[in-house]
Chains A and B, each alone.
Chain A
Amino acid sequence: AQSVTQLGSHVSVSEGALVLLRCNYSSSVPPYLFWYVQYPNQGLQLLLKYTTGATLVKGINGFEAEFKKSETSFHLTKPSAHMSDAAEYFCAVSEEGSQGNLIFGKGTKLSVKP
């Protein structure tokens, strides 16, 4: 069965600092991986996704993530945090051969200090 683990339910960084949100997955077959962002009182919005091909994926708002099969990881990074990045971030996996539903991690709330 697929599962997603996000290390750290809450991450706090200073404005301008590196953002690193961790995501590890368990999957018996090559997965498809996603990061979603949820701003306060809003629905989820896709940041980026990995399906096949290049393992470094660039998304919106300057975020990127790298798929590392050997580490079963898909960590999300951004070189310089902005106040507007404060939100909750969810990593999700969908498995080839499954019905296609997304399995989400429990989320990481990112705070950005001025």
Chain B
Amino acid sequence: GAGVSQSPSNKVTEKGKDVELRCDPISGHTALYWYRQSLGQGLEFLIYFQGNSAPDKSGLPSDRFSAERTGGSVSTLTIQRTQQEDSAVYLCASSLGRAKNTEAFFGQGTRLTVV
């Protein structure tokens, strides 16, 4: 596709359920990022994948959050036992290389609502 694609665009889930959010980066982009955008909190870094290197998971807020990137392409962010405070827009971005050198392209996000 032409840009970063995220699915679903909206997700409503019950508290305690697990959810999976998907990100299809731009073809050929080696770097992939997940961010969380909450009202009044700006963009909170979650996790960063760069090529075959071990991901930088330093931003994951708890062990309920995990992410994987299969085959260096598609990534899935999983939130287990969702809580109401997990409600936010989850943004994915990809870039050709390290962010400092190239532009990061963002998807339109997945709006997660935990009820």
Contacts and interface: CB of A to CB of B under 8 A. Distances in A.
Given A32-B100, A104-B42, A44 B50 contact: no
A72 B50 CA distance: 28
B45 A104 contact: yes
Nearest to A95: B100
Contacts of B106: 36, 43-45
- By size class, the interface of chain A is 20 to 34
Interface in B65-104: 91, 93, 97-101, 103-104
A96 B93 contact: no
Interface residues of B, number: 28
Contact of B103 (A41, A49, A104): A49
B109 A43 contact: yes
Interface in A87-114: 90, 92, 94-96, 99-107
A43 B107 contact: yes
**Taking each of A32, A49, A102, which has the highest tally of chain B beta carbons within 10 Å of its own beta carbon?**
A102
B13 interface: no
Contacts, number: 69
Interface string B12-50: 000000000000000000010101000011110100101
Contacts of A96: 100
A55 interface: no
Contacts of A102: 33, 45, 99, 104
B33 A42 contact: no
B50 A51 contact: no
**Taking each of B104, B105, B109, which has the highest tally of chain A beta carbons within 10 Å of its own beta carbon?**
B104
Contact of B99 (A42, A90, A101, A107): A101
Contact of B42 (A34, A42, A90, A94): A90
A44 B103 contact: no
22 contacts: A32-B100, A41-B108, A43-B4, A43-B106, A43-B107, A44-B43, A44-B93, A44-B104, A51-B100, A51-B101, A90-B42, A90-B43, A99-B48, A99-B50, A100-B50, A100-B100, A101-B56, A101-B59, A105-B42, A106-B40, A106-B42, A107-B43
